Amino acid sequence: DTTRILPAGNYYLTKVDVQAKGTLAVSGKVVLWCAGNVKFAADAKVNAGGVADQLWIVQSRCPAGSHTADNQVTLAGISSAAAVIYAPESFVHLAGKSQLAGAIVGRDVNLAGTSKLNGSAPSGTPFATSAALYGKRSVKVSGQAVVTGSVKSLGKITVEGQGQIVGSKEEIASI
């Protein structure tokens, strides 16, 4: 049950790991530049109840270390977050009952279980798209997962089981 409150600023990290029942809060605009894996474990709260535009998680090359193509962003269990996740070369996975309010850009994005993305394109973004969820290579929504907002991908968008996309979906050739 650890709580951390980050004041406004840029933070350069080798990884982000919010453990079960941990809380990460922000006061002001925070950007986490992460060179490694990002993980929110069961019942983690990350800017929960906050404004997504106030917490950006950018997984890319940064001074904290070198980026590898195997990096992942994972929200598991019943974790909840309000954030913009920008990880265009990484696998982004929401599983279990995890919930994210915000936006995602990932190489491959997978929502499974009963996870939910309550998405909206963030304002003033460096994104190459205005979608709430953008998969550079693929997007998969399965189980009973739900995406609310527009979904775009340069590759395949797959909806399986009782998964839902409540909004537009578009497989595009280029941006």
CB atoms within 10 A of CB 156: 12
pTM: 0.90
Confidence at residue 64, expressed as pLDDT on a 0 to 100 scale: 41
Low-confidence spans in the chain with pLDDT less than 50: 62-69, 175
Q: How far apart are CA 155 and CA 83, in angstroms?
A: 24
